[in-house]
C-alpha cells in the first residue's frame, strides 16, 4: 500500500508547486509491509575440510600373522622379511568369546586366531602401495585400531606408534593395560615413515596377562593430504545497529584450513570460517578480513566493512501472558530489551482491551518492573470486564528503552493464557531395553530417523532385547541397598542386572489445538545419569558429560542415593499433533559397575493460547502522514491516524558523505503526533513503516 507522496524543501526561495513548502523536508510516506531493514548476514557455510583422505588398509584388509609366541627379534618388522610360512586372513583377526558385538559393529571377525595362556605376543604384517606425495607439509597418517590389549606399530621397519605399551618389550612382555571399554577405537597418528610405492606395516599385539582368554586385532589406516586452498565466497560488508548481532563468513575449497580473522589488522578470537559478534557496539565498526592457511598455501579474503549505526530502535514486545506465575489478576509483558523504569511503570502507557469490544478498557491498578520480570500489570479484580480466561490485547505507548528510544506508537500485543496438560505420570509404562548382552548397535550405529529414540524406530519384542509394560519407577539395586523413591511415589517394576546403558521409550498423545511449541515441566528420579529425547531430538540431559555420547559414555557422578529432580522447565519446538515419542537413556557412572539403575519420570506441558486481534489494516489512501510547520519556532509536527497500530516513524539523511548511502533508522523519540525541531540546513527524509 503506497501513500500519497509529498515533498518540501528547507530554505527553498520559492515553492515548487502548491504541495511544496519553503522549508525543507522530504516526506515520502508509505505504508510498508516490511520492518525497518537492518542488514544482518547469517551465512551458514561449513568450515572447509576438503583434504584428500585415502584408505590404505581397511578393517577387512588381509594380514599375515604368527601366533607361536616365539621371540622374533627385530627382523620381522622389516620390508624384506620372509613371512611366507605365516598364516593369513582378512580382518578382524582374533578371539572374543564374551562380547564380539562390540567389535563387529566395525567389521566382522573374519579370521579366528587361537589364544593360549603361554602366548602373550601376536605378530601381524601387511603390505600396501602408496602413489601420492609424502612430503607435503601437514601430511598425516592415522591408524584406527581395535586392540585387545596393547600393540606396537612399525612402518617400513621403524616404530611409528603404539597403544598401551611400555617403553621396552620382548615377546614375554605384557601390555600396560587393556582398553578402558571393550571394543573401543584407539586412534594413533603415526610417524610419517611412508614411502612412494610399496610399504610394509608390522604390528605386535601384546596381552595384558598370560591368563587372558581373548585377543583382538583390527586396523584401518588412512592418509590425509592437505589440498590447496581457494576462497569460494568472500565475507560481505554489512550495516547493523547497536546492539544487534553481526556475522562474517567465508567459503573455502581445499583443506584442512586454519582461519585467522582480523579487524583493522588486529587478530580476533574466531578460528573457524565464521566470525560472530553477539552484540555490536560503535567500537565494532571497522574493516574485517580473514587469512586462511594450511601446509600447501595461504589465501587472504577481501575486506568486509562493518558499519554500525547508533541504537535508535525502540523496544519490542516478546509476549504478554496472564498469570505467568504471579496470580490471575496479572499480565506479564516481556520486552526484547531493558526499559527505563519510569516509562515501564507508568499506567498511562498501557491500555488493556477485550478483543470482543475495543471500546472498553480494563483498569490497570499498578505496574511492577525489572529487567528479569518485564512489566507486570496488576489488574483490578473488581472490574466486571476482567476474566483471567478471557481474550484481551494490550495497547502500549510511550515505553522507552535505556537509550530513550520509544516503542512504536500504538503497539498492540495479544494477551496469551496458559494451558497445562499432563503427558506422562511417574507410574506410566515404558518399553525397556535392558539385557546382560547389551547390543550397542541399537544405541550407536543407526541414523537419527531410525535410531532407538526416533519416530520411525520399531520396537521388536521378539528379539529378546526389548520388553513391554515396565511400570515406573523402574529399578534395579543390590539387595543390601536401601533404594529411594521420591515423595509420593512408589517403585514400579524390578528389572534384572544389565550392561550399561538402559534404554526406555514410550508414546504419548498430544491433545489437538495446542500447537507444536510448548514448555515441558519435569519431575524425575535417576540413578545415575540420563539423556532425554523427544521425537528423535535430544531435549535434556542430567548428570552426563557434554558433547557426543555413545553406549560407552558414563555419568559424571555416582548418585547414591538416587536423585529426585523437580522444577525442570524445557522449551520444546518439535512436538507433533497426535502421537509423539519420548525416550530416555539411563547411564551408570564409571564407578558404579553397571549396578543400581532407577528411572521414573512425570511430565506436564504448558502451552500458550493466544487470541486473534481485530484487524486494523488501513484502507487504501487512509493512512497518511500529516504535517504542519511553524516558522517562528521552527517546529515540524507529523501525525498519522491513531486507530492503526504497528507503524514506526523512520528517517534518513538526504545526502550521504564519502559515497555512503544513508540508511533508514527509527526515530528514537517517536510519538504520534511527533514534534521535531528543524535544525539549520537540515535535510532529512521521513517515512512511516509497518513493523
Helices then strands (H, E): number in the chain?
Answer: 3, 48
DSSP 347-369: GGGEEEEETT-TT--BPEEEEEE
End-of-domain residue from the set 586, 609, 632: 609
Which residue matches cell numbers 527505563?
A: 340
Within a domain: residue 109? yes
Query: In terms of domains, do 221 and 255 share one?
Result: no
- Residue 214 in this model has a pLDDT that exceeds 50: yes
Choice among 1-10, 90-99, 551-560, 570-579 with the minimum mean pLDDT? 1-10
pLDDT band at 449 (very low <50, low <70, confident <90, very high): low
> Over the stretch 217-273, which tens digit does the pLDDT of each residue have?
999 999 888 888 999 999 999 988 888 899 999 998 887 889 999 999 999 999 999
445 vs 109, higher pLDDT: 109
Could you tell me if 665 and 38 are in contact, meaning their C-beta atoms sit under 8 angstroms apart? no
End-of-domain residue from the set 585, 609, 633: 609
The closest of 320, 418, 416 to 367, measured between CA atoms, is: 320
Within a domain: residue 463? yes
Within a domain: residue 644? yes
Choice among 16-25, 93-102, 407-416 with the minimum mean pLDDT? 16-25
CA angle, residues 480, 483, 485, in degrees to nearest 5 = 165
Within a domain: residue 40? no
593 vs 57, higher pLDDT: 57
Residue 316 is predicted with a pLDDT of 92
Choice among 43-47, 125-129, 239-243, 603-607 with the minimum mean pLDDT? 43-47
Per-residue HEC secondary structure of 123-140 comes to EEEEEEEECCCCCCCCCE
Residue 47 is predicted with a pLDDT of 34
Residue 34 is predicted with a pLDDT of 21
516 vs 357, higher pLDDT: 357
Cell numbers for 259: 582461519
Range of the domain at 537: 423-609
For range 432-459, the mean pLDDT: 68
Q: State the chain's mean pLDDT as an integer.
A: 81
Query: In terms of domains, do 507 and 656 share one?
Result: no
What's 270's domain CATH number?
2.60.40.10
Query: In terms of domains, do 298 and 190 share one?
Result: no
Tell me how many domains the chain contains: 5
End-of-domain residue from the set 589, 609, 629: 609
Residue 627 is predicted with a pLDDT of 76
Within a domain: residue 625? yes
Task: For residue 349, give Cα distances in angstroms to 336, 381, 396, 616.
Answer: 17, 20, 6, 20
Query: In terms of domains, do 397 and 473 share one?
Result: no
pLDDT band at 200 (very low <50, low <70, confident <90, very high): very high
- Residue 687 in this model has a pLDDT that exceeds 70: yes
Cell numbers for 464: 529378546
CA distance 61 to 82: 20
Query: In terms of domains, do 576 and 429 share one?
Result: yes
The closest of 238, 358, 316, 437 to 611, measured between CA atoms, is: 358
The closest of 433, 436, 430 to 444, measured between CA atoms, is: 433
Task: For residue 291, give Cα distances in angstroms to 201, 234, 331.
Answer: 38, 11, 52
> Over the stretch 141-173, which tens digit does the pLDDT of each residue have?
999 899 998 999 999 999 999 999 998 888 888
Query: In terms of domains, do 648 and 686 share one?
Result: yes
Residue 31 is predicted with a pLDDT of 26
Report percent pLDDT > 70 for the chain.
82
Strand partners, 248: 275
3-state helix, strand, coil in the chain (%, to 5): 5, 45, 55
Within a domain: residue 47? no
pLDDT band at 10 (very low <50, low <70, confident <90, very high): very low
- Reported residue count of the chain is 691
Amino acid at each position: 500500500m503506497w501513500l500519497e507522496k509529498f515533498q518540501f524543501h528547507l530554505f527553498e526561495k520559492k515553492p515548487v508547486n502548491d504541495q511544496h513548502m519553503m522549508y525543507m523536508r522530504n516526506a515520502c510516506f508509505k505504508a510498508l509491509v516490511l520492518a525497518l531493514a537492518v542488514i544482518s548476514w547469517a551465512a551458514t557455510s561449513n568450515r572447509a575440510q576438503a583434504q584428500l583422505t585415502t584408505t590404505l588398509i581397511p578393517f577387512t584388509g588381509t594380514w599375515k600373522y604368527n601366533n607361536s609366541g616365539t621371540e622374533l627379534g627385530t627382523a620381522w618388522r622389516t620390508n624384506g622379511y620372509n613371512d611366507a610360512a605365516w598364516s593369513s586372513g582378512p580382518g578382524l583377526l582374533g578371539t572374543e568369546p564374551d562380547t564380539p558385538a562390540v567389535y563387529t559393529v566395525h567389521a566382522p571377525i573374519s579370521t579366528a586366531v587361537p589364544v593360549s595362556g603361554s602366548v602373550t605376543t601376536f605378530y601381524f604384517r601387511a603390505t600396501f602401495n602408496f602413489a601420492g606425495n609424502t612430503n607435503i607439509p601437514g601430511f598425516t597418517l592415522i591408524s584406527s585400531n581395535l586392540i585387545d590389549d596393547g600393540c606396537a606399530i612399525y612402518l617400513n621397519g621403524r616404530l611409528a606408534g603404539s597403544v598401551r605399551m611400555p617403553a621396552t618389550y620382548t615377546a614375554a612382555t605384557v601390555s600396560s593395560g587393556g582398553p578402558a571399554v571393550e571394543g573401543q577405537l584407539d586412534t594413533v597418528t603415526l610417524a610419517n615413515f611412508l614411502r612412494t610405492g610399496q610399504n610394509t606395516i608390522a604390528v605386535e599385539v601384546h596381552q595384558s596377562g598370560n591368563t587372558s582368554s581373548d585377543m583382538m586385532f583390527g586396523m584401518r589406516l588412512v592418509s590425509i593430504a592437505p589440498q590447496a586452498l581457494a576462497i569460494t565466497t568472500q565475507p560481505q560488508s554489512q550495516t547493523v545497529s547497536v546492539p544487534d548481532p553481526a556475522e562474517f563468513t567465508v567459503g573455502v575449497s581445499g583443506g584442512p584450513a586454519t582461519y585467522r580473522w582480523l579487524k583493522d589488522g588486529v587478530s580476533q578470537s574466531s578460528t573457524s570460517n565464521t566470525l560472530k559478534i553477539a552484540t555490536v557496539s560503535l567500537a565494532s565498526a571497522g574493516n574485517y578480513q580473514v587469512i586462511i592457511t594450511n601446509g600447501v598455501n595461504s589465501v587472504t579474503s577481501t575486506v568486509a566493512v562493518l558499519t554500525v549505526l547508533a541504537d535508535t530502535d525502540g523496544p519490542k514486545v516478546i509476549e504478554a501472558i496472564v498469570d505467568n506465575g504471579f496470580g490471575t489478576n496479572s499480565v506479564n509483558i516481556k520486552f526484547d530489551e531493558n526499559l527505563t523504569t519510569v516509562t515501564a511503570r507508568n499506567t498511562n502507557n498501557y491500555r488493556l482491551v477485550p478483543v470482543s469490544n475495543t471500546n472498553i478498557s480494563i483498569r490497570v491498578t499498578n505496574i511492577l518492573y525489572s529487567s528479569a520480570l518485564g512489566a507486570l500489570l496488576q489488574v483490578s479484580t473488581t472490574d466486571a470486564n476482567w476474566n483471567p480466561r478471557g481474550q484481551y490485547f494490550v495497547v502500549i505507548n510511550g515505553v522507552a528503552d535505556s537509550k530513550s528510544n520509544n516503542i512504536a506508537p500504538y503497539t498492540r500485543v495479544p494477551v496469551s493464557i496458559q494451558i497445562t496438560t499432563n503427558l506422562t505420570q511417574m507410574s506410566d509404562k515404558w518399553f525397556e531395553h535392558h539385557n546382560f548382552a547389551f547390543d550397542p548397535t541399537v544405541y550407536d550405529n543407526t541414523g537419527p530417523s531410525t535410531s532407538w529414540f526416533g519416530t520411525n524406530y520399531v520396537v521388536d519384542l521378539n528379539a529378546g532385547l526389548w520388553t513391554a509394560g515396565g511400570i515406573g519407577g523402574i529399578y534395579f539395586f543390590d539387595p543390601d541397598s536401601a533404594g529411594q523413591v521420591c515423595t509420593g511415589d512408589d517403585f514400579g517394576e524390578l528389572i534384572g542386572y544389565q550392561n550399561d546403558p538402559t534404554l526406555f521409550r514410550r508414546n504419548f498423545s498430544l491433545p489437538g489445538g495446542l500447537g507444536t511449541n510448548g514448555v515441558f515441566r519435569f519431575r524425575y528420579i535417576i540413578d545415575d545419569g540420563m539423556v532425554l529425547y523427544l521425537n528423535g531430538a535430544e531435549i535434556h540431559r542430567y548428570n552426563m558429560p557434554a558433547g557426543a555420547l555413545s553406549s560407552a559414555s558414563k555419568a559424571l557422578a555416582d548418585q547414591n542415593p538416587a536423585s529426585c529432580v523437580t522444577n525442570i522447565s524445557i522449551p520444546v519446538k518439535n512436538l507433533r499433533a497426535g502421537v509423539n515419542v519420548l525416550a530416555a537413556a539411563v547411564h551408570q557412572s564409571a564407578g558404579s559397575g553397571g549396578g543400581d539403575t532407577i528411572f521414573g519420570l512425570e511430565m506436564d506441558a504448558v502451552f500458550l493460547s493466544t487470541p486473534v486481534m481485530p484487524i486494523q489494516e488501513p484502507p487504501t489512501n487512509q493512512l497518511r502522514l500529516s504535517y504542519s510547520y511553524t516558522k517562528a519556532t521552527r517546529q515540524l509536527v507529523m501525525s498519522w491516524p491513531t486507530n492503526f497500530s504497528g507503524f514506526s516513524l523512520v528517517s534518513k539523511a538526504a545526502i550521504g558523505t564519502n559515497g555512503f548511502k544513508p540508511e533508514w533508522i527509527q526515530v528514537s523519540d517517536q510519538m504520534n503526533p511527533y514534534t521535531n525541531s528543524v535544525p539549520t540546513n537540515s535535510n532529512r527524509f521521513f517515512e512511516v513503516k509497518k513493523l
